[in-house]
A and B are shown apart, each in its own frame.
Chain A
């Protein structure tokens, strides 16, 4: 009998402890913005209760996110969970390559041997009808429209991929405008977001179902930024080429290929009233993945461009020290090292051209294939990876705004993948956190 009441006490304590944790979360979670840098998103705060949000089910889903995002010791628990799951694994590096490329939450990591890996996660993974587990700003702003990324069906319907709340759009637009403000009068900001190959294959692999893809996020952003900011809708730029069967994304890596970047570059340059360099004027080396490597089967080729003029590539360790690094990884079989030295807070390329202008490219690894095309238009092209997980302000010794000033930046290019979209902590917070 004693034992039985012992079991009762034990199980009762389970629920008491659960209630205590729940109570702690509800009562003591601070109502301020919390960012999970590892996950590249803003953690959910306690949502505001309104009848309409409850009726739509939004309140319930946000409340659930709030509880799981706010549980005490969350990071440690996730680590334990990962470790326990890891106990079941015995993967080789080659396996990890395959798994990374098929993971719906594909890690935005490109190893070129020149830095440490990062693990920026896509900020919003919803597809189909799933709820968007995004970093929506806490208080929804209804003064404008939410934007949607969707696949367009041949029967007139759509498949929703991502939803961008107006509050997030407004905030990101404001952040970009801060960069535009730092530029000279004739300077511009060029902004684009690039989808992952998995999504591209979902589109082109189902052409009997889908006729296109679209996103109206730039329509909304345009209304909120000055004429200095120009948007380039990668989806509509690439769509006709993809419908003609051109392969613009890699199969053995989570990036677009150089041809995909070229099409977007052409539009960016035309928007400046200039003529893009014809593709066949470039010399390039075709790199095949190492024979027998994990990615051989993907059958990708990597066209590594030689710059049109002698260029030098530098890793900027800090404001007083820079180190010359190769322009591209011509001599390695690295799978996607278009522009060498990816994981760096700051890089500088002296282009060999004399135009009197300088550009800054802010992006993740998706800019690596596009940046080489920009060289003939600038004296120097700088690149910074502003994500929390990469950018090290302390090491660099100064802010992005100061670096822009020191290097007389005229134009800024934002070239990000969908992992760092309008719902991500990168665009919502890191842009401004690291700016000043």
Chain B
């Protein structure tokens, strides 16, 4: 089920809220939330719920094993390895088996190939959550969870189940036992949810519609310079509004049910460096790779050569996490190389001396080019579009074709709205006008956004979240 579906908005969410608020005991609330989360996940893909249950079950046992063998370091490690393997094995099988096998077969010209598997929804997200639980228990960062239902609730909790943010167990362990549920949190959560829904339904989907008109993946057409840039720009906005909208809704829903999830985005398109961009984009994923891969590898507290190696490993994995395809790996490595250049070739001090008015657009363009790599699973199409952006390839220096001109005119106001919405204007307003009137206004605006979202939702029939496939 998706947040922007009628089933969720008209039935699932109101019914869950009603049942959740019927009784104040945490057992009841956890029970309602767990049942709702399992229905949420099973809706549409019931078979794959077994995978999630198995993954949680294995890690529940492994964590207990870790906890009980506290004096035996070897045994603890063994339980940890078993836990990690059992959490990653499904992800490897469903997401990477075909890609790795076929790439290997292609490399050695073998005829053996296996077909791509259907990816269970949210597997990349919940796998990492299960993983953090076992590792946090091993690191003694969190106490073992003896109640399997609570562990299952942590992993399957529907607000963050299928597209994050990736919640680390240590951050929510206490909330599983005790969390506030009050009117202030409820209204704030609802307001945040409305903002997210509008971002998805109005902005992200309209940007998606604009891209599909130009269709830079259509091999039968030639893309002009303006077409290539416009498609890249709209995808840059679409992916931001799509994914950050989901995080907004997840955080808002979390608050409705008493959970506090960390922010996942912080206006990444005003970043002043690539490092800054990754501090603002998909923060929970960056934090995961930092805490569970980069630092264990040695981080930057080692020789430069080793640090560079560590960075390339982390960024290749980051790319690969997004999809089993070379374009994602290349996209990850693209950022790895840029970050290495920023840190070890130019130096962050020098970068900071460049006026921000130059740095922000530069980082934005770098991100746009990155998103072109990200968009096309066929690398030749990605290079074709990047070539077209600089007047190289099929259309040569044809600046603008009639179709692009028509699309730009059709969605003439959209890039402006998208640009404004991706700037940190709201926090600035909030800072300046924090009185009761501003509060009231924010709720009136949220109500209007909610109504508009429903209207747009009825007007659209097909609106999947981009991040579901990861």
Contact = CB atoms under 8 A, between A and B. Distances in A.
A294 interface: yes
Given A82-B459, A91-B406, A64 B10 contact: no
Interface residues of B, number: 62
B458 A78 contact: yes
B457 A68 contact: yes
B225 to A, nearest CB: 16
Contacts of B1: 60
Interface stretch (A94-102, A309-317, A342-350, A354-362): A94-102
A141 B212 CA distance: 35
A206 B206 CA distance: 28
A94 B406 contact: yes
B183 A89 contact: no
Interface stretch (B12-20, B91-99, B362-370): B12-20
Interface stretch (A3-11, A320-328, A384-392, A410-418): A3-11
A10 B443 contact: yes
B215 A102 contact: yes
Contact of A64 (B7, B215, B450): B7
A99 B44 CA distance: 34
Contacts of B214: 102
Nearest to A104: B212
Given A102-B213, A202-B220, A4 B10 contact: no
Nearest to B184: A4
A19 B402 contact: no
B412 A4 contact: no
B108 interface: no
Contact of B452 (A10, A84, A297): A84
A271 interface: no
B88 interface: no
Given A18-B9, A294-B402, A71 B412 contact: no
B14 A94 contact: no
A130 B212 CA distance: 15
Contacts of B443: 7, 10-11
A57 B49 CA distance: 13
B462 A14 contact: no
A76 B142 CA distance: 53
Interface stretch (B186-194, B338-346, B422-430): B186-194
Given A60-B43, A202-B220, A88 B402 contact: no
Contact of B219 (A54, A68, A206, A294): A206
B144 to A, nearest CB: 35
Contacts of B45: 57
B440 interface: yes
A92 B410 CA distance: 9
B411 interface: yes
B459 A15 contact: no
Contacts of B194: 14
Nearest to B182: A8
A143 interface: no
B191 A11 contact: yes
B160 to A, nearest CB: 20
A137 to B, nearest CB: 19
B412 A14 contact: no
A81 B219 contact: no
B11 interface: yes
A99 B414 contact: no
Given A7-B443, A11-B186, A205 B219 contact: yes
B213 A95 contact: no
Between B11, B17, B187, B406, the greatest number of chain A beta carbons within 10 A of the residue's beta carbon is seen for: B406
B351 to A, nearest CB: 37
B341 to A, nearest CB: 37
Interface string A4-29: 11011011101110110110011000
Nearest to B10: A22
Q: Is the interface of B mostly helix, strand, loop or mixed?
A: helix
Nearest to A19: B14
A57 B120 CA distance: 12
Contacts of A64: 5-7
Interface in B397-433: 401-403, 405-407, 409-414, 417
Contacts of B220: 201-202, 204-206
B468 interface: no
Contacts of A243: none
B233 to A, nearest CB: 15
A57 B456 CA distance: 25
A313 B459 CA distance: 41
A88 to B, nearest CB: 4
Contacts of B218: 205
A88 B406 contact: no
A61 to B, nearest CB: 7
A96 to B, nearest CB: 8
A63 B187 contact: no
Contact of B410 (A19, A60, A65, A89): A89
Nearest to A39: B461
Contacts of A94: 402, 406
Nearest to B191: A11
A316 to B, nearest CB: 37
Given A8-B184, A55-B47, A57-B45, A25 B10 contact: yes
B409 A5 contact: no
Given A14-B447, A94-B402, A294-B402, A63 B7 contact: yes
A103 B455 CA distance: 22
Interface string A27-66: 0000000000000000000000000001101001101110
Given A96-B406, A102-B403, 8 more contacts: A18-B10, A55-B46, A57-B44, A61-B44, A63-B7, A80-B459, A84-B455, A87-B413
Across the A-B interface, give the 8 residue pairs with the lowest CB-CB distance, nearest first. A81-B459, A22-B10, A205-B220, A19-B14, A95-B406, A11-B190, A8-B183, A67-B6
12 contacts: A7-B183, A7-B187, A11-B191, A12-B190, A16-B14, A57-B46, A71-B6, A92-B406, A95-B410, A99-B410, A103-B213, A205-B219
Interface of B: 1, 5-7, 9-11, 13-15, 17-18, 43-47, 183-184, 186-187, 190-191, 194, 206, 212-215, 218-220, 401-403, 405-407, 409-414, 417, 436, 439-440, 443, 446-447, 450, 452, 454-462
